[in-house]
Each structure stands twice: as structure tokens, then as C-alpha cells.
């Protein structure tokens, strides 16, 4: 299995190349809701991590969501979640000396590539400064690979909204009412609503505000 998984293969190569303890990738597409995780950790820690849903509170991932620059784990806030996860990790023989590189895609997709190695402070800084550039590239490559491979992403990346639908979504995001838009486009406000409904359906959204959020993150429209 593992040796056939290209993602796992890539991470293993990365680990070997830079003599790291472990390399892990976690990514998600807020639209499809799909999350993707790959790691070189053993099955024991992996399953423990997943079973306890650590990915929901993992401070490295939360920080990555809001950051663009690499995040050294020793700069994370030592909150309750931090203690929980890193104490558990230590029990599995995993060091808390690590780094996470956030990656943001154009459609709201986020990911993080994490590496860790148990070593001295000095050794760690030396290592990082030497390979940070390569890691950055690797993170981009890995994220791109994962997102492109996600069929749901691919599907949602190309929701075939009609010209009218996108046009009307754009005006809606600009704060126009259905009546306004009808006047602007010289059609009935009833028709505007039909297109809006169709757009909601295609975006699998329950309400117009939700559809606007998704359309923006899909890059279909821009906020105004």
C-alpha cells in the first residue's frame, strides 16, 4: 500500500533527504469540506491522532490557517490544546521540535507541511535555515498534488454556472437587491430570483449568503 501511494512516497523521500524524524501534510478545501492527511508517522500515532480528532484543535494547523510564513512550533501559544496534543505526541516518542509551512491556494484551500526532528536548538536552527527554501517548494508541490487529485475539488472547481448566474451572483455580492438587479439587467426580478436559485443549487448552498461565500472562495466572483 504505502509504497504505492505517491503522496506517502513524496513525504518519505523528503524525510530521507533532509534526515528528518517525520514529515506530515494536512490540507483541506473549505468548499468540499474534504480534508486530506498524509504522514510518515507510524500507524499508532496516526490512528490516535485521527481518533481523537486532533486535527480539529491542532495548534499548528490553526496557526497555518491564518499565517503565510512558516511557523516554528516553539512559537505557538502554549494553550490547553497544545498541551493535550504535544503531551500525547511525546508518549508516542514524537518530539515537539518542529515547523509547519502554511500553503494557501487561490480558492480558499489551505494546507500545511510539517516536519520535526528531535535535536538540539542549535542543530535545529542550522537545519532549518539550510532547507527552508526546499521545504517551501515541497509544500507547494505537495499541496497542489493533493488538491488536484481530489475529485470533489475538481468537480467543485468547475461548477458550470451560466453567465447569467455568475453575473447575478456578482451583483448580489455587490449589495444589490433582486429588484435592483432586474432593473440593471432589464429583466423581471422574478427571473433574477430563478437564476439565483439555480446558482444556489449548483453551489449546493441553502441560502444566498452561503452561495455568495462559496462563489467567492471558488473564485467565481469577487467581494465588493
Partner DNA sequence: TATACTATTGGGGAAATCCCGTATCGCCGC
Partner DNA sequence: GCGGCGATACGGGATTTCCCCAATAGTATA
State the residues that interact with DNA by CB under 7 A.
Answer: 160-165, 177-179, 182, 185, 187-191, 193-198, 200, 207-208
**Residue 199 interacting with a second copy (CB under 8 A):** no
- Which partner in a second copy, DNA, none is near 99 (CB below 5 to 8 A by kind)? none
Degrees, nearest 5: CA angle 76-41-71: 20
List strand residue ranges (DSSP E) for 50-150, in order.
71-72, 98-104, 110-116
Q: Checking DSSP bridges between strand 110-116 and strand 22-28, what pairing results, if any?
A: antiparallel
Of 6-14, 38-46, 49-57, 200-208, the segment contacting a second copy by CB under 8 A is 200-208
Of 6-14, 35-43, 52-60, 175-183, the segment contacting a second copy by CB under 8 A is 175-183
At 102 the three-state DSSP class reads strand
- Which partner in a second copy, DNA, none is near 219 (CB below 5 to 8 A by kind)? a second copy
- Is residue 146 within 8 Å of residue 113, measured between CB atoms? no
**Residue 36 interacting with a second copy (CB under 8 A):** no
Pick from 90, 174, 188, 201 the residue near a second copy by CB under 8 A: 174
Q: Please, what is the minimum distance in Å from the beta carbon of residue 51 to a second copy?
A: 24
Q: How far apart are CA 172 and CA 165, in angstroms?
A: 10
Q: How far apart are CA 22 and CA 117, in angstroms?
A: 7
Q: How far apart are CA 121 and CA 112, in angstroms?
A: 22
- Using alpha carbons, select from 147, 148, 185, 140 the residue that is nearest to residue 167: 185
Which of the 8 DSSP states describes residue 41? S
Query: 90 vs 154, which CB is nearer to a second copy?
Result: 154
Q: Please, what is the minimum distance in Å from the beta carbon of residue 94 to a second copy?
A: 26
At 220 the three-state DSSP class reads coil
Which of the 8 DSSP states describes residue 95? -
Query: 191 vs 217, which CB is nearer to DNA?
Result: 191
- Using alpha carbons, select from 29, 60, 49, 20 the residue that is nearest to residue 219: 29
- Which partner in a second copy, DNA, none is near 92 (CB below 5 to 8 A by kind)? none
**Residue 208 interacting with a second copy (CB under 8 A):** yes
- Which partner in DNA, a second copy, none is near 80 (CB below 5 to 8 A by kind)? none
Pick from 11, 31, 71, 76 the residue near a second copy by CB under 8 A: 31
Q: Please, what is the minimum distance in Å from the beta carbon of residue 206 to DNA?
A: 7
Q: Please, what is the minimum distance in Å from the beta carbon of residue 182 to a second copy?
A: 15
Amino acid at each position: 500500500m504505502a509504497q504505492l501511494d505517491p503522496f506517502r512516497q513524496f513525504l518519505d523521500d523528503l524525510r530521507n533527504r533532509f534526515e528528518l524524524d517525520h514529515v506530515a501534510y494536512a490540507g483541506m478545501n473549505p468548499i468540499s469540506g474534504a480534508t486530506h492527511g498524509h504522514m510518515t508517522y507510524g500507524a499508532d500515532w496516526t490512528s490516535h491522532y485521527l481518533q481523537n480528532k486532533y486535527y480539529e484543535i491542532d495548534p499548528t494547523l490553526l496557526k497555518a490557517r491564518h499565517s503565510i510564513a512558516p511557523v516554528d512550533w516553539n512559537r505557538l501559544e502554549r494553550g490547553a490544546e497544545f498541551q493535550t496534543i504535544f503531551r500525547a505526541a511525546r508518549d508516542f516518542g514524537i518530539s515537539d521540535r518542529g515547523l509547519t509551512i502554511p500553503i494557501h491556494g487561490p480558492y480558499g484551500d489551505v494546507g500545511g507541511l510539517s516536519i520535526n526532528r528531535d535535536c538540539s536548538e542549535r542543530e535545529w536552527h542550522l537545519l532549518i535555515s539550510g532547507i527552508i527554501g526546499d521545504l517551501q517548494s515541497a509544500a507547494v508541490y505537495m499541496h497542489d498534488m493533493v488538491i488536484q487529485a481530489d475529485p470533489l475539488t475538481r468537480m467543485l472547481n468547475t461548477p458550470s454556472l451560466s453567465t447569467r448566474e455568475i453575473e447575478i451572483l456578482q451583483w448580489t455580492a455587490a449589495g444589490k437587491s433582486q429588484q435592483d438587479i432586474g432593473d440593471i439587467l432589464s429583466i423581471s426580478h422574478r427571473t433574477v430570483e430563478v437564476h439565483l436559485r439555480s446558482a444556489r443549487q449548483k453551489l449546493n448552498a441553502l441560502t444566498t449568503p452561503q452561495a455568495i461565500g462559496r462563489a467567492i472562495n471558488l473564485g467565481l466572483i469577487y467581494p465588493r
